[in-house]
Amino acid sequence: MIRVALFSQDAKLQPLLAPALGRDFEVVVETHADRVIELLQGNTFDILVLDLDSENSRVDTHVDVFNDLHHTDITVVILTDDGCRPTAVDLVQRGAHSYCRKPPAMRELKAMMRRAYEHAVMKRQLEAAKHGQFSTHKVEAEPSACDALIGSSAPMRTVYDLIRRVASLNASVLITGESGTGKELIARAIHNIGDRKAQPFVAVSCGAIPETLIESELFGHEKGAFTGTTGTRTGYFEQAGNGTLLLDEIGELSAQTQVKLLRILQQKEFCRLGSGRPIPLRARVLFATHRDLSHMIEERKFRLDLYYRINVMTIHAPSLAERPEDIGSLAYHFLRQYCDVYNKSVSGISSAALSTLEDYDWPGNVRELENVIQSAIIRADGDEIQPKDLPERMRAQDTVGDGDVRETGTFERLLREYKVKLALKAIEDCDGNKTLAARSLNISRAYLHRLIRQSGGVEAIDAA
């Protein structure tokens, strides 16, 4: 039984939440701030749900409750309407587990609550381990330990779990994902959580090194190994020592270098160019790529035996389109970071601007979002980022989206219903793959989600 404390002044929500969550959840409702703090101090609850409702609650009171409980073990989930979303994102940045928009889709909320419960259990296990109540290495990699990784969505929880599982193993890990998704951050998290965290972390972009120099850079060389060498050079394999070496963009290696890398991984030793003395490979080697290696294997551009050697475990870095619920958290993270850099006093993001960010496709992923927030900070005149501070390409998409779902009469309603039918049929034809469905309709994935969500068809999109 998962015990949930709900702090809410929304009379409509209170009687609906408990039966909707089901028998696995016990929900205790409190409407007063003082009493909810007393309730949590006197009972063992797994989750606290703070209901931020711009019409029915004093938001500052809920923030005060969060501040009072911030340093306790309670795991906090936020329910929020559009008017309070900036506050919800801020609380997530300050330690709340996640937030869900109102009115909530119960299947989505239920899944979020279960993830929050798993997080609460992990926190208790970690605290018990610190006090010597039991010994386990597996609990050390909860998301809070991955400081540079931002997000609490289901795809990111999967990433955190895989990081935890491989951190202290010497198995090869292949990190895949589009450009700008944070593959190096995942590699650093594996290093920082594992047994090698006190040793060097060396990241090498294979695609940035000329083919004529790649072997010298990786393995090092002796004086006189080739024309122009004036001394001995220690390669990246040696520089990593007993730490971690990340070979990023592994798909850019030539066939010749692939052969040599395969031998090194098999024999656990290498030689500097111009030397026959073997040097033991002591570093753990991680690999990353934005390329489809299986497709490259079919085209005979990547060795199958090397692929199996480096791909003992795969961690997929999700694109921003795969985790739109993390956009707000990431945006506020970059807001705080770059306000200091540019000496600006921008403290928030308006609800309209946040909606525009969440509805955009983000082909450049987190790197593009970082760039957009930097630009918006520079453009902003007040203390909040407004839609006018965002790039024109984003405002144009947002305007089209708003017009498509705004209902002004029977014609608009029928048109919207027809669009929903097309979207659901496309999802069905694409075997549930919403990205392919959006492409087949020539619309963005974010708009596909929004169209179904605002039509009331949440069950359909959840099922997909």
Interval 279-299: pLDDT, tens:
999 999 999 999 999 899 999
Q: Which letter, b or e, does each residue of 118-155 get, where b requires 16 or more Cβ atoms within 10 Å of its Cβ? A: bbbebbebbeebeeeeeeeeebbbbbebbeebbbbbbe
Q: Distance (Å, rounded) from C-alpha 200 to C-alpha 196?
A: 8
Tokens of residue 107, six digits: 């299947």
**pLDDT, position 306:** 94
Query: If you average pLDDT over residues 415-441, what whole number do you get?
Result: 77
- Which domains does the chain possess? 2-130 (3.40.50.2300), 154-316 (3.40.50.300), 321-357+365-390 (1.10.8.60), 406-463 (1.10.10)
Neighbouring residues of 129: CB distance < 8 A, sequence distance ≥ 6: 135, 136, 139, 140
Are the beta carbons of 27 and 18 closer than 8 angstroms?
yes
Distance CA 297, CA 313 (A): 18
Residue 303 in contact with residue 258, Cβ under 8 Å? yes
Whether 406 shows a pLDDT value over 50: the answer reads no
pLDDT digits (tens, 9 = 90+) for 157-186: 889 989 988 988 888 999 999 999 999 999
Cβ-based neighbour number of residue 104 at 10 Å: 18
Phi, psi of 28, deg, nearest 5:
-115, 125
Average pLDDT, the chain: 80
Q: pLDDT digit string (tens) for 79-97? A: 888 888 888 888 887 778 8
Q: Under 8 Å CB-to-CB from 118, ≥6 apart: which residues?
A: none
| Residue 20, number of CB atoms within 10 A of its CB | 15
pLDDT value at 105 more than 80: no
Q: Which of 69-78, 91-100, 398-407, 443-452 has the lowest mean pLDDT?
A: 398-407
Helix axes 392-405, 410-429, angle to 10 degrees: 110
Q: With residue 99 as reference, give the H or E element that holds it.
A: strand 98-101
pLDDT bin (cut points 50, 70, 90) of residue 56 is: low
Long-range CB contacts for residues 460-464, cutoff 8 Å, separation at least 24 = 460/424, 460/427, 461/427, 461/434, 462/105, 462/107, 462/108, 464/424, 464/427, 464/428, 464/432, 464/434, 464/437
Amino acid identity at 169:
L
Contacts of 93 (CB under 8 A, 6+ apart): 329, 332, 333, 336
pLDDT of the residue at 181? 93
Q: Omega before 318 cis (within 30°)?
A: no
420 or 119, greater pLDDT: 420
- pTM of structure: 0.63
Closest CA to 444 of 401, 389, 386, 384: 401
| Percentage above 70 pLDDT, the chain | 83
